Structure 1
Amino acid sequence: MHDELIDVQDELSEAPVGPMHVKLGILLALLTLFDGYDTFNPAYVIHYVREPWGLSLQQAGMLVSSGLVGFLFGAAVHGAIADRFGRRITLLGGLWITTIFSVLTALGGHSFAAFCSLRILTGLGLGVLLPLSTTYINELAPRRIANTFALWGVALGWAAGGACAGIVGVFVTPRTGWQGLYWIGSLSFLLIPFVHRYLPESPKFVLLRGREEDVKAILSKLRPDRAAAYRDRGVARHSAIARTPVFALLEAPYRRQSIAICATSFLSLFCIFGLSGWIPTLMQARGETFAASFAFGALMQVMSFVGGLVCGHLVDRSNRPREWLCAWWAVGALSVLALVFFRTHWTNFAFSAAAGFCIIGGQFVLNNFTAASYETQMRATAVGMELAVGRLGAILGPFIGGALQQAFGGSGAMLGAIAVAAAGAAACVMFATKSGADYEQRRDAADEPVAGVARGG
């Protein structure tokens, strides 16, 4: 009977936050900490290599963009791999790639071409960690606190990693040179055995593969109070979507959602990496000290987590993600525009913090919104494609920022372009469907669950 079956979606969505949730949140936060750290540390390399390597401003921008090229490909293909082979093994693969190439960058990235080539290869691993961690934690998050839980578990790590890159840039690189950034980044190898031992497979993915006993074992760890209730019950399984996930993103009813989300992500990440990639150099040009200039990057990352947490909390309470995201990016656009006209130390500080709070903080919530907008079979692919398209904007942000500074002899045009892009993100997100999270619920309501699970499915 239907009421005797275990509904995995309901069990996960209605679960209280327990010790297993906390453990997984910490583990995923540490994963994304290394992602955020490695993504943003090239901004602190520019100071050390631009003159010795004879780089133009566009080439300096490519130091930041090169890793994002690899990220684009990693994010684009990892979803199909994760949807086929599992979240856990794909995350481990991404972590191994990131660790190995961090070491190789410190050892061999001693020219512009070598550095950029190694960053592209590192990006293949980075393209797995953030999007797949977002997918994973959204599949485990209790419904009532989905955004808040995902932000504490993923956004905190990523923002802390970006902030750590600035701290290492200030305190370590004067003694070690820029290579110190990557020696510290290679400490991600310490995390590998913990991920291997403690990170379970996503229960929804396991369900799709027909492994009923594994599903019940994972649920028992997440909800130990219900372990006895799971023991002698079957697992409800709904019919799977018989479509290729990549193409399904552009089919009804997902087409409008996919286009709106990808366009928003493109513009948002153009802003984030255009601003983050150049903020230390920009602040030094405005007369800030070396330490203060590097600290601005850390400030933006710290404020991004606070902004994402506030926005996520408001979304959870109101269930109005589009409206809050639009407001966040609109205020972010005004903050960046203010940097064009106000140049004192305290206005630099205030408007940089506001830009991090709104623009980067909004991106965290957009990632969660994307994960909640698609069914389990498509979720990893959808988040990967959102961030892959977004990374096109991220690649262009630092490069175009350098080109505009060189063409106009100052930062005003670059900041203006970033402000326009943030306003564009605010507009685009309003074209997304109001509640993307109900696709799976609507389909489930139309289907009768099947008792048990087909073996080897």
Structure 2
Amino acid sequence: MPVPKAKGNVLEVEQLFESSQRPGFHFMLLMLCGLCLVIDGFDAQAMGYVAPSVLGEWNVAKSALGPVFSASLFGMLLGALGLSVLADKIGRRPVLIGSVLFFGISMLATPFVTTIPALIALRFVTGLGLGCIMPNAMALVGEFSPRSHRVKRMMLISCGFTLGAALGGFISAWMIPAFGWRSVFYLGGVVPLVLAAAMIATLPESLQFLILKGRTERARSWLARFDPNLQIHTETRIVVQEKNSDGAPVAELFRARRAPVTLILWAISFMNLINLYFLSNWLPTVMRDAGYSTGTAVFVGTALQTGGVVGTLLLGWFIERFGFPRVLFASFMIAAAFVGIIGTVAHALPWLLIVVFIAGFCVVGGQPAINALAGHYYPTSVRSTGIGWSLGIGRIGSVIGPLIGGQLIALNWTNASLFHAAAVPALCSALLVLVLGMRSGNLQREVSGCVPDTQPRFH
């Protein structure tokens, strides 16, 4: 293939990504960021899978685990809000590597706790590291992707989270009976440390970020790794098509007429994560109480995450053809229907697995689409903040969801009533997407993104 050249004394990073085919580099980046999200999903859902065993060993009430679930999610909330902003200041690479190291060590410490208060504290600390992984991984992949493939690739690596959660169910169903619940956390701690070592050696920094921050020499170094055949000289100016933002990253989410879409994105993420984490954390325990064995109850929870993996892949394909608003509206409407009947079909395992799979397809698979929408919408200077705050505000819902579930279970609500209540946030998500589509004026076409300092458009 021809050797890429800078035009005159100027090299535009975006044009380089559009014209240069570096499959080996992109595969490496997708693998590293995807694996980050696999272990993120595994560790985020680990508590839900070990919950029945912890309840039996410690002899505590089911409602006692509500604060444990929420502590991790509250830590993820703060991590998403704080560390995503930090990444827009110092870079994706150091924050992503540091977070993986931090939560790996925290996971290794979890098996040594023996009380609910200590478990709450450690799950909160672990959540801090987990919280900023998805925003930074998605931002980094999006910034190395041609515009035509950006959404597809962000959705692809987002699939890692649900894949990790699903694998966690299968692995936990095997490891817990054989080695005890603590083995799940040992595995969830060792793998991130190995991955962090690989990231230190090979993970690149965003070239757009480096240029916008004036770190030209580092950009040249990473350009050489991206394409060793690239002809670039010391006098060549490396530029990007965006303008740097000197203001506070969070404030920038409300400038350039972004405020309405920002608020709607936050609300959609909030509603969907109430549902997602209620189902993820309580479904195995509720199904065990419905008469199933621990292994079968965990398998039902795994069906939710497996549906999410398939949903993420297929929803990305649908979004490319029909646009974010239309696909997300249909997905959340279907979710409301199928979540609502989980309790009704709980007595029939084949139907239960089908219904839970479809619910996971729409709810769990819908969340990466929301994240990809945020990543596609915001410019480089605030992309990590945009995704992180959408997730962070949404994770207020993820903290509330398990707590509400615990309280409703403590009030002896029937399974049918529990899942009828869980259908309400999905319906709210659908209505909010409808508002987003109405504001854009068209539910039929794809988001086109935003040009800095102009009004963003949803088509």
TM-score normalised by length of structure 1: 0.90
Contact preservation (8 Å) 1:272, 1:359: yes
- Structure-2 change in CA distance of 1:437 and 1:14 (3 Å): farther
The aligned runs of 1:159-174 (5 Å cut-off) are 159-174=162-177
- Structure-2 change in CA distance of 1:228 and 1:60 (3 Å): same
Q: Which runs of 4+ in 1 moved over 6 A?
A: 229-232
Separation in structure 1 between the aligned mates of residue 21 and residue 330 of structure 2, nearest angstrom:
31
- Structure-2 change in CA distance of 1:336 and 1:203 (3 Å): same
1:394 alignment partner in structure 2:
398
Superposition deviation, residue 20 in structure 1:
0.4
Q: CA RMSD in A?
A: 2.3
Paired AA for residue 102 in structure 1 = M
Greater shift in the superposed pair: 431-440 or 184-193? 431-440
1:440 alignment partner in structure 2:
451
Superposition deviation, residue 14 in structure 1:
5.2
The aligned runs of 1:317-356 (5 Å cut-off) are 317-318=321-322, 320-343=323-346, 344-356=348-360
Separation in structure 2 between the aligned mates of residue 98 and residue 75 of structure 1, nearest angstrom:
14
Separation in structure 2 between the aligned mates of residue 258 and residue 221 of structure 1, nearest angstrom:
35
Paired AA for residue 156 in structure 1 = C
Q: Which runs of 5+ in 1 are unaligned?
A: 446-457
Paired AA for residue 181 in structure 1 = V
The aligned runs of 1:2-401 (5 Å cut-off) are 5-13=10-18, 15-16=20-21, 18-107=23-112, 109-152=113-156, 154-187=157-190, 188-223=192-227, 227-228=230-231, 233-237=236-240, 238-318=242-322, 320-343=323-346, 344-401=348-405
2:3 alignment partner in structure 1:
none
Separation in structure 2 between the aligned mates of residue 16 and residue 444 of structure 1, nearest angstrom:
32
Separation in structure 1 between the aligned mates of residue 165 and residue 449 of structure 2, nearest angstrom:
33
Superposition deviation, residue 216 in structure 1:
4.1
Contact preservation (8 Å) 2:324, 2:447: no
- Structure-2 change in CA distance of 1:437 and 1:8 (3 Å): farther
Q: Secondary structure at the match of 2:276?
A: helix
Contact preservation (8 Å) 2:9, 2:235: no
Separation in structure 2 between the aligned mates of residue 195 and residue 43 of structure 1, nearest angstrom:
28
TM-score normalised by length of structure 2: 0.90
Contact preservation (8 Å) 1:155, 1:305: no
Separation in structure 2 between the aligned mates of residue 306 and residue 206 of structure 1, nearest angstrom:
35
Paired AA for residue 58 in structure 1 = S
Over residues 402-456 of structure 1, what are the superposed CA-to-partner deviations in whole Å (9 max), with x where a residue is unaligned? 21122243222321122110111111123336466532367599xxxxxxxxxxx
Separation in structure 1 between the aligned mates of residue 318 and residue 168 of structure 2, nearest angstrom:
29
Q: Are 2:421 and 1:417 equivalent residues in the alignment?
A: yes
Paired AA for residue 439 in structure 1 = C
Over residues 19-60 of structure 1, what are the superposed CA-to-partner deviations in whole Å (9 max), with x where a residue is unaligned? 100111011111111110110011122212224444334322
- Structure-2 change in CA distance of 1:28 and 1:239 (3 Å): closer
Separation in structure 2 between the aligned mates of residue 9 and residue 325 of structure 1, nearest angstrom:
29
Superposition deviation, residue 79 in structure 1:
1.6
Contact preservation (8 Å) 1:256, 1:431: no
| Total equivalences in the alignment | 441
Contact preservation (8 Å) 2:212, 2:243: no
Q: Which runs of 5+ in 2 are unaligned?
A: 1-5, 441-445
Contact preservation (8 Å) 1:46, 1:63: no
Separation in structure 2 between the aligned mates of residue 205 and residue 126 of structure 1, nearest angstrom:
22
Paired AA for residue 48 in structure 1 = S
Q: Secondary structure at the match of 1:172?
A: helix
Paired AA for residue 405 in structure 1 = I
